[in-house]
Every structure is written in C-alpha cells, then in structure tokens.
Amino acid sequence: MKYKRILLKLSGEALMGDRQYGIDPQRLAEYADEIKEIHDRGVEIAIVIGGGNIFRGVAGASNGMDRVQGDYMGMLATVINGMALQGALEDKGMLTRLQTALKIEAIAEPYIKRRAVRHLEKGRIVIFGAGTGNPYFTTDTAAVLRGVEVHADVILKGTRVDGVYTSDPEKNADAVKFDTISFEDVLKKGLNVMDTTAFTLSQENALPIVVFDMNKKGNLLKICEGENIGTVVNV
C-alpha cells in the first residue's frame, strides 16, 4: 500500500445521500464498506467528518445567530455524525474509537494525541469529533491539524467531485481537471481546495492532500494502492 496512515476527511453533506438533510443509512453503510477494504489491508485510518448535514455555524450566523454559539452547535453536529459512522464501522466488524475536542465523556474519549496514535498503531479506526474545539475554525482545519499531530502520510479529502478543477465542474462544463498541482499554484490560481487556514497548515507541514470522489466505489482503495485517482496537491 502506498500510504500506511491516512486522515480521511468527509463532508457532513456526503452523509445525506439523496436526502435534504440528516443521515442516509445506505450511504453510511457504503462508506463503511469502502473504509473496511483499506482497513483489512493494514492501512491505519483516522477520520474527521463535517456537520453540514445537521447544522452549519456560518449559516446560523448569517441568519442572526451568534457565530460562536452557532459554531459550537456545528461541533456537536460533527459528534452526531461521528457516532453514526462509528456504529456503521462497528457493524462491519471494525474496532473504533471516537475522540472529541469537547469533553463528552459519556459517549467519547477526550482527544489526546498519544492515545490516538496508540489506537492507530493497534489497528483501531479513530474518529475525531467536535472539530478543533474552537469557534471560527472549520472541520477542514481540524482534519489537517489532526493529520499533522498523528503523523498521517496524507489527507484524503472525499467529496462528490473527482478532483480539483480550473473552475466548478458542476457549473462549468469546460472546467479542466488537474491530476497533480502544487500548493503554490493552488494559491496563485485561487482554487478552492480547502479553507485558507487548513490549506496553509498543510503546506507548512508538507502534508499532501488528495481530493477525490468518495461516492465512486473502489476509489479509496485505489488511492491507497497508489493509483492516480482525483487530484494530488503537493509541495
């Protein structure tokens, strides 16, 4: 396998499937199957998942809610998604741990870096919930931060688009896909890979990002085997 330890970033919206909000159990089961394929081949897996299918702090703030309050609500949404994913993974026979940046000890361990690394070394899948534990930071930033902390080889950003394009391929049929691109070129071209804080943190730590279509069966395994799937953002 090309990567020994990965940080998989999933969007909360991806869990909706064809629904307008919430969690689609079928989509959750499909993701669990994809993750099991690489887990069974010895890849150590950490996961950060967003909460946009339940609540998004920025959207709440735009409707008059206090931004800090909204962001904390968003963090709790990521914990709900983390619990749902944990259940789906355990249904497939995998051992998991849910660690959260906010203390919710009845349902999850507090995030402790050394403990997270130990879980990964023992073959457990570690899900990081509640973002960074701070308002004004996205789950993209949380994903890169945790990836750096646990010494992941790569950030795998699973989306509904199969890579990074010159413009939004869902709006522009003439958009051209990049197979590989440097951090510097992403910034120069103003491309939307991750939010600026997350992207800069990844660049400073030379942690590559692979943007790929998580909804296409087998993509996750192919990436871990070294196939050119999606777009690789590297130094």
Determine whether the annotation assigns residue 136 to a binding site: yes
Determine whether the annotation assigns residue 111 to a binding site: no
Give dist(CA 146, CA 225) in Å, integer: 23
Determine whether the annotation assigns residue 132 to a binding site: yes
Determine whether the annotation assigns residue 180 to a binding site: no
Determine whether the annotation assigns residue 228 to a binding site: no
Q: Which of 73, 56, 46, 63 is nearest to 16 (CA)?
A: 56
Determine whether the annotation assigns residue 24 to a binding site: no
Q: What's the burial of 129, exposed, middle or buried (CB within 10 Å: 0-12/13-18/19+)? A: buried
Determine whether the annotation assigns residue 166 to a binding site: no
Determine whether the annotation assigns residue 12 to a binding site: yes
Q: Residue 211: which residues within 8 A CB-CB, separation 6 or more? A: 157, 159, 161, 163, 164, 193, 230, 231, 233
Determine whether the annotation assigns residue 51 to a binding site: yes
Determine whether the annotation assigns residue 52 to a binding site: yes
Determine whether the annotation assigns residue 21 to a binding site: no
One-letter identity of residue 34: E
Determine whether the annotation assigns residue 168 to a binding site: yes
Determine whether the annotation assigns residue 10 to a binding site: yes
Determine whether the annotation assigns residue 179 to a binding site: no
Determine whether the annotation assigns residue 66 to a binding site: no
Determine whether the annotation assigns residue 41 to a binding site: no
Tell me the backbone φ, ψ of residue 13, rounded to 5 degrees: -60, -30
Determine whether the annotation assigns residue 135 to a binding site: yes
Give dist(CA 67, CA 197) in Å, integer: 18
Give the tokens for residue 73: 């609500």
Q: Which residues does the annotation place in the binding site for UMP?
A: 51, 71, 132-139
Q: Which residues does the annotation place in the binding site for ATP?
A: 9-12, 52, 56, 159, 165, 168
Q: Which residues does the annotation place in the binding site?
A: 9-12, 51-52, 56, 71, 132-139, 159, 165, 168
